[in-house]
């Protein structure tokens, strides 16, 4: 048995000595070549994957949904087309504002900014209507209006979640700092610091979450959402947490109504083509609301049994 093993080793050794080395080298070269090819393919696949990932991320950023708060070419083109397709005619007392709008747009003023300025008084009128006629409470008149504008940029769902997250973090911080004596302004600065760091962390994690709205969000809506924090904390201080939560829900409801109003294409077109009538109509609408001194709709529903 030992002889057989020895002979086998000897034969193998002879084979290595007899056969030319270039055969082994060729075999090694083949192996190395295959390894290089495989490594090259893997590298190309990895590189293409990186490019695909980068291009996908860029595509997400580029394909951000157009909104009226930014001078997007799609929005500008649509609004400018409204003006081009509907010429104002001769300059009169009832069309001088429209002529001024056309002149401003031709000089480079974004038409979406003009539409927003025309629509914002309507948003304020809707807030007043919801308070005096319907009976919905909110954080003043500016909070739901600013929320609606912020939602235009962030998207309704993303903006709502961010706003609720900010309020939740602020509530937790308020409970944590309740027993610590800190003056009002430094306390508010601490709240803003914590909320800002929270939003900062969310923005860093947004590529992993896959939320396009978070990836492309601007600083303007974030600042609006953070600055509205003070109203919520003031309500919590002066009233109970339950009342503050209820007012928050009603504020969001009013902001949603304002959001859909601003996004309504017919109103945008009407405001741009008939600015004089639009502004006068809003003013008269506000005066009519002010004249109303009856029961609110929610009060009628609450006391419906007594009214019968």
Question: Among 82-91, 146-155, 273-282, which stretch is predicted with the lowest mean pLDDT?
Answer: 82-91
What are the contacts of 184-188 at 24+ separation with CB within 8 A?
188/230, 188/233
100, 173: one domain: yes
The pLDDT of residue 147 is above 60: yes
**262 lies in some domain:** yes
What gap in Å lies between CA 237 and CA 229, rounded to an integer? 13
Closest among 162, 176, 182 to 229, alpha carbons compared: 162
Closest among 228, 282, 220 to 69, alpha carbons compared: 220
102, 150: one domain: yes
The mean pLDDT of the chain is 74
The pLDDT of residue 124 is above 60: yes
33, 97: one domain: no
What gap in Å lies between CA 32 and CA 45, rounded to an integer? 19
Q: Residue 150 in 3-state DSSP?
A: helix
Going by pLDDT thresholds of 50, 70 and 90, the confidence category of residue 296 is: confident
What gap in Å lies between CA 202 and CA 162, rounded to an integer? 10
237, 138: one domain: yes
**What tokens were used for 286?**
């506000």
The pLDDT of residue 220 is above 90: no
186, 236: one domain: yes
Cα distances (Å, whole numbers) of residue 128 to 45, 118, 210: 60, 17, 38
What does the pLDDT look like over 149-186, one tens digit per residue? 888 888 888 888 888 888 888 888 888 887 788 888 88
- C-alpha 241: how far from its chain's center? 27
**287 lies in some domain:** yes
Tell me the residue range of the domain where 108 lies: 73-307
116, 262: one domain: yes
Phi, psi of 23 (to 5 degrees): -65, -45
- C-alpha 40: how far from its chain's center? 42
**150 lies in some domain:** yes
179, 77: one domain: yes
The pLDDT of residue 126 is above 60: yes
Going by pLDDT thresholds of 50, 70 and 90, the confidence category of residue 137 is: confident
**216 lies in some domain:** yes
90, 54: one domain: no
Closest among 37, 29, 61, 27 to 217, alpha carbons compared: 61
55, 188: one domain: no
Please give the tally of structural domains in the chain: 2
- C-alpha 263: how far from its chain's center? 15
What gap in Å lies between CA 89 and CA 92, rounded to an integer? 9
**What tokens were used for 113?**
């900014």
Phi, psi of 177 (to 5 degrees): -95, 10
What does the pLDDT look like over 237-267, one tens digit per residue? 777 778 888 888 888 999 999 999 988 888 8
* 44 vs 124 pLDDT, higher one: 124
Residue 292 has what pLDDT?
84
Residue 281 has what pLDDT?
93
Going by pLDDT thresholds of 50, 70 and 90, the confidence category of residue 17 is: very low
**68 lies in some domain:** no
**What tokens were used for 17?**
């000595």
What gap in Å lies between CA 224 and CA 246, rounded to an integer? 21
The arithmetic mean of pLDDT across residues 142-149, rounded, is 86
130, 236: one domain: yes
Out of 36, 62, 88, a domain closes at 62
């Amino acid at each position: 048995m030992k002889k057989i093993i020895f002979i086998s080793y000897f034969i193998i050794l002879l084979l290595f000595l007899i056969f030319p080395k270039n055969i082994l080298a060729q075999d090694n070269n083949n192996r190395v070549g295959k390894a290089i090819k495989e490594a090259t393919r893997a590298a190309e696949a990895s590189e293409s994957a990186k490019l695909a990932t980068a291009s996908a991320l860029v595509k997400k950023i580029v394909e951000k949904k157009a909104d009226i708060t930014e001078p997007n070419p799609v929005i500008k083109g649509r609004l400018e087309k409204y003006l081009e397709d509907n010429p104002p005619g001769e300059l009169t007392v009832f069309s001088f504002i429209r002529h001024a709008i056309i002149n401003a747009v031709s000089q480079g003023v974004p038409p979406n900014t003009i539409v927003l300025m025309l629509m914002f008084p309507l948003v304020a009128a809707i807030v007043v209507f919801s308070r005096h006629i319907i009976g919905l409470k909110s954080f003043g008149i500016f909070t739901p209006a600013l929320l609606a504008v912020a939602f235009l940029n962030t998207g309704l769902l993303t903006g709502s979640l961010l706003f609720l997250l900010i309020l939740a973090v602020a509530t937790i911080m308020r409970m944590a700092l309740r027993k610590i004596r800190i003056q009002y302004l430094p306390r508010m600065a601490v709240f803003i610091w914590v909320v800002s760091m929270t939003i900062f962390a969310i923005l860093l994690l947004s590529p992993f979450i896959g939320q396009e709205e978070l990836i492309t969000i601007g600083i303007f809506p974030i600042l609006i959402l953070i600055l509205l924090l003070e109203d919520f904390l003031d309500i919590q201080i002066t009233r109970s947490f339950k009342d503050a939560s209820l007012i928050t829900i009603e504020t969001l409801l009013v902001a949603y109504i304002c959001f859909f109003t601003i996004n309504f294409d017919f109103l945008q077109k009407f405001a741009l083509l008939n600015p004089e009538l639009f502004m006068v109509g809003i003013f008269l609408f506000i005066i009519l609301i002010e004249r109303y001194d009856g029961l609110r709709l929610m009060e009628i529903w609450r006391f419906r049994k007594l009214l019968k």
